[in-house]
Structure 1
Amino acid sequence: MAPRITVIGTGYLGATHAAAMADLGFEVLGLDVVPEKIEMLSRGRASIYEPGLEELLARHVQGVEGSSGRLRFTTSYAEVAEFGDIHFVCVHTPQRHGEYACDMSYVDAVIETLAPLLTRPALVVGKSTVPVGSADRLAARLAELAPVGAEAELAWNPEFLREGFAVQDTLHPDRIVAGLRSERAEQLLRTVYAQPIGEGSPFVVTDFATAELVKTAANSFLATKISFINAMAEVCEAADGDVVKLAEAIGHDERIGSKFLRAGIGFGGGCLPKDIRAFMARAGELGASQALTFLREVDSINMRRRGHMVELTRDAVGGTLLGRRVAVLGATFKPDSDDVRDSPALNVAGQLHLQGAQVTVYDPKGMDNARAIFPTLRYASGALEAVRGADVVLHLTEWREFRELDPERLAEEVAVRHILDGRNALDPAVWRKAGWTFRALGRPTA
């Protein structure tokens, strides 16, 4: 008989994982402590925008017409403990306020609440990104609190989801990493992931510490690659080089590769910034801080890009932002997402506003979340409305909609044909031909 699965935490990670597990054929029960989320999910609706997620929910949520009925949601830990054989922990681990370290309170709360209710053998599987060493501590606490003792086992199975591709990454992962302590735990996880393993996804078995480190190491490498090309953009501006051509040339080296080599205003979101900071903090606690000192510079380069875009904007409007009309295209930290957490685009918009500019923002999916963080900015219902009367236009999130804009049509709305491409995603020749002054990070001015 197939194991029954629960997913605790129904944010970006949890909602996607729950829907995907149902799609793989399992009976799934999702839990969240926020009733509004559960009410939405129970109608087959997601509280976040993620391509393909609502279609997957509609296909499986119990009570939705035509669904398989394999997926339902609750706020009851008692119901979860009674229902599940495998419990996936998918709650978030934000950065502690005023510190670099990770806030483990949500993960700890799951173990403290779930463990005392486990009266039969169960596997608890951590998917949240945690400091190395957490799994050891949580495994001991789980066995201590659970009525079944050591038969309440822990495994660590980090997630590697890319926002905008989360459904695909869950159903067809490029690797499955499992930190395990028993053959039983391994067999249960192999059962859960039998379909992707059968399709060729590697199943990598490790100890707890290595499984925890895989996620933070991967994010640190990606952040380093992004900051590297952004550092090269700074050098290109000083030397009058072209960072786009530079990236293309070095990307042909198979040892380097072309992915994550697009210079721009840097990375953001709910993962990379807080994960590299938490990694540095944890390395310090372990006495290995020198090993990760380079990540401080990675973080510094990344944050410097935002300030540089503000300076370029000031230069573009004649040296003072006071009263200048600035159109910002993009609010989310990346396209195909409504996530504005630590978004470089929204950060730049906020800085410009605080320095006296009249800033109007448009984003295809992130408007509500942006308003919640920066209610004092102006928001437009479309790109044409956003740029109306603008002294300068900033392209800060590389949505396809923005890449396909007609420079001639936009020119009819602006006060000044001046655009700054903060993502190196627009074609300078096309915009210059339409009479625009075009400037991009790390590229020649003409």
Structure 2
Amino acid sequence: MASIPPPEGEDPVMPEATPHAPSPLSFPDFRYYWFARFTAVMATIAMVVVIGYQLYDTARSDYGMSIKEASFQLGLLGLVQFVPLALLTPVAGWAADRFERRRVAIFSNLIDLLIAATLGWFTWVDGLTLWLLFALAALHGVARVFSGPAMSAIAPNIVPPAVLPRAIAMSSIAWQSASVIGPAAGGLIYAAHPASVYVFAAVLLAVSAITLSRVRPVQPPPAAVRRHPLREMVDGLQFVWIERFLLGTITLDLFAVLLAGATAMFPVFARDILDAGPEGAGLMRAAVALGSVAVAVGLAIRPIEHNVGVKMLWAVAVFGATTVAFGYSTSLLLSLALLVVMGAADMFSVFVRGTLIQLNTPDHMRGRVSAASGLAISASNELGEMRAGAMAAALGPVGAVVIGGAGAIGVTALWAWIFPELRRARTFEPQFKAGST
């Protein structure tokens, strides 16, 4: 049962965990939230995989670009998605802390539904151009920047704090299992009938919006004093900057994935190195998510409790090492196996990082801190794609992936030294300063 906004003058009451309801799925609102996240992610990941493949294939087939030139276009695709994220992240975090969070997330879903409908039409009439794909990818970046903080800030308000680590693992299962099904389904549907993949995505986004509307309203926590919106946006960034523990946790992911992100090169490896076609690109995405799901299920059943910081650091190092090995692989089966391990390592670090951030952030700051974390994740993903595309244009796709993976291992070692707070984090207990709330 979700928490209901209390009468004026009373403190909000969180639902209490009981011995008979230890699972997050015991709470109806969390079940709606879980399914809404699952369907939305399945839709958007399927779209992202197909957009990347369509852009690369269009650049090669319709524009006559070489492998290096078309790889650079994939890098630009990441850049155009990052620009709206960079510009709008403070606004999105403020919106999640100021407005009813479900409505913000539903509005984001509807933007993605519009994108799916547009892409479906232009695919049907064979009217896709690079500029159209870039423009719609940028609009998808706008939708994602508002969805992320709002969805992240909902979960802590619909389950009790004691259940939150398991809820985050369950939420990750929704994300990652959808990331297994979405890319594989998207690639197969696209290979059979290109425009149909966008019909598939549009239906799922509509289902997600309807399901999320069933969650009871999640009002932002009341603030003692309302300040100017710009001041409140800056407050969120300042909180992350001052709290070194949060800063180290967020920036570790930023720089590791910025360097080791290989997903932008999946269309290149699928089409021109492994000769696997669009189905292969979908299977690569699905393999990463499969490893993530396996770890997420394990963590939902038995969450880790001790030496969480050191384990997070080792997980990031393994992520970098498997990226190096993937870059050298010329076998589809070996590549998929390496991507499963990569996804498992990434999921482990994501679980630890997500739990640490949520439990080390006061509720009235969660939207803005989640936005800052989301910006770091998006910067690492989209700018990582730009980095990979630019390096692939100069060194080739294999060199771009291998050097990036090695760089992530180096970043992990450096961050363990610069931020000893990460190594010293034994449990998920809140560590923010007393005056920070």
Q: Which fold has the larger relative contact order, with Cα–Cα distance below 8 Å and residues 6 or more apart in sequence?
A: 2
The verdict on a shared fold, with TM-score over 0.5 as the criterion, is no
Give the structure with higher Rg (CA): 1
TM-score (ref. length: structure 2): 0.24
TM-score (ref. length: structure 1): 0.24
More strand by share: 1
More helix by share: 2
